[in-house]
Amino acid sequence: MDTETGVINGLVDGTYVTQLRTGAASGVAFRLLAKRHCEIGALIGTGGQAATQLEAMLTAKELKEVRVYDLDFERAKNFAESMRKSLAKFPTEIIAVADADEAIDNADLITTVTSSTQAVFDGNKVKAGATISGVGSYQPHMQEIPVELLKRASKIYFDSQEAVLAEAGDLLVPLDKGEITKDKFTGDIGQLASNELVGRENDEEIILFETVGIAAQDLMTAKSIFTKIQEND
Ligand SMILES: NC(=O)c1ccc[n+]([C@@H]2O[C@H](COP(=O)([O-])OP(=O)(O)OC[C@H]3O[C@@H](n4cnc5c(N)ncnc54)[C@H](O)[C@@H]3O)[C@@H](O)[C@H]2O)c1
């Protein structure tokens, strides 16, 4: 909507905007937080949000291989097959695997985008230097990120710490049980983008980014769709 005149400039599909903006949040996190050289990615969860998550990962870093895993292995296989076609412009092998820990073995980038209520991989098996984006946990009972990983992470960033701490079981459950403290929390990714916070300091740090989605992301995504349409007119 035009903020001066109130005229409707356009209508966008909310589901698609959510997919784009959620992917973009992980993409920005990988760009800002991952090691310079990354080879292997892992994507846990191959549902409605997964395609843009995978595209964001491949856009952020040139990867040799991405393993995709879902509790429903057929779904993971079909997803991998379809992504090999739609993301063929990337030089990355996309492989479905039948085990979450096989997916994350030696992975530099990990995205979790499931509807799980318990940890989706073994936090002790994550390699030093990995960057993880936790996307799926958006209610206080939902968890994907293992507490071992929270303990091993040297930095934890958020799209919005306030929003994450109002919604995400990934942090709320371990905080509640006293397994972690807020001292672990570094701050919002925007503060890193504007140089208020330091990012990765060496190739050994494990860094977690946790996102639940905020309105600013939807707005900027819708705006950039609108700008593209204007440019192409
Ligand atoms: N952070 C954000 O901004 C944001 C935005 C949109 C959606 N979400 C959340 O992301 C999650 C995924 O969304 P979606 O639309 O893709 O959901 P979906 O229901 O389409 O897919 C979820 C997938 O997760 C799989 N799964 C569940 N538990 C698993 C486990 N333990 N290991 C591996 N796979 C597992 C399911 O089999 C399913 O394929 C949801 O919880 C959703 O609410 C977050």
**Domain of 152: which CATH number?**
3.40.50.720
- Tell me, yes or no, whether 99 and 147 share the same domain: no
17 found inside a domain:
no
Phi, psi of 164 (to 5 degrees): -65, -40
7 found inside a domain:
no
- Tell me, yes or no, whether 102 and 161 share the same domain: no
Give yes or no for residue 2 having a pLDDT over 90: no
* 50 Cα nearest atom in ligand 1: 16
Rounded distance from Cα 144 to ligand 1 centre (Å)? 10
- pLDDT, tens digit, for every residue of 88-134? 999 999 999 999 999 999 999 999 999 999 999 999 999 999 999 99
- Tell me, yes or no, whether 84 and 153 share the same domain: no
- Tell me, yes or no, whether 105 and 42 share the same domain: yes
130 found inside a domain:
no
- Tell me, yes or no, whether 159 and 105 share the same domain: no
98 found inside a domain:
yes
96 found inside a domain:
yes
Structural domain ending residue among the three candidates 114, 148, 167: 114
- Tell me, yes or no, whether 220 and 140 share the same domain: yes
| Burial tier of 32 (Cβ tally within 10 Å: 0-12, 13-18, 19+) | middle
- Tell me, yes or no, whether 105 and 50 share the same domain: yes
Specify the residue with its C-alpha closest to ligand 1, atom 20.
Answer: 47
Query: Which structural domain, as residue segments, surrounds residue 75?
Result: 34-114
Residues 108, 34 contacting (CB under 8 angstroms): yes
Residues 221, 24 contacting (CB under 8 angstroms): yes
- Tell me, yes or no, whether 215 and 150 share the same domain: yes
Q: CA-CA distance, 84 to 103, in Å (whole number)?
A: 17
Rounded distance from Cα 96 to ligand 1 centre (Å)? 17
- pLDDT, tens digit, for every residue of 46-90? 999 999 999 999 999 999 999 999 999 999 999 999 999 999 999
Strand ranges across the sheet with 93-96: 93-96, 65-69, 40-44, 109-112, 131-134, 207-210, 155-158, 185-188
Share of the chain above pLDDT 70, in %: 100
Give yes or no for residue 187 having a pLDDT over 90: yes
Domains held by the chain: number: 2
Rounded distance from Cα 88 to ligand 1 centre (Å)? 24
Average pLDDT over residues 190-197: 97
4 found inside a domain:
no
- β-pairing, 185-188 vs 109-112, is unpaired
Identify any residues that bridge with 143 across adjacent strands, giving them in sequence order.
Answer: 117
- Tell me, yes or no, whether 91 and 155 share the same domain: no
110 found inside a domain:
yes
Specify the residue with its C-alpha closest to ligand 1, atom 15.
Answer: 48
Rounded distance from Cα 62 to ligand 1 centre (Å)? 25
Average pLDDT, the chain: 97
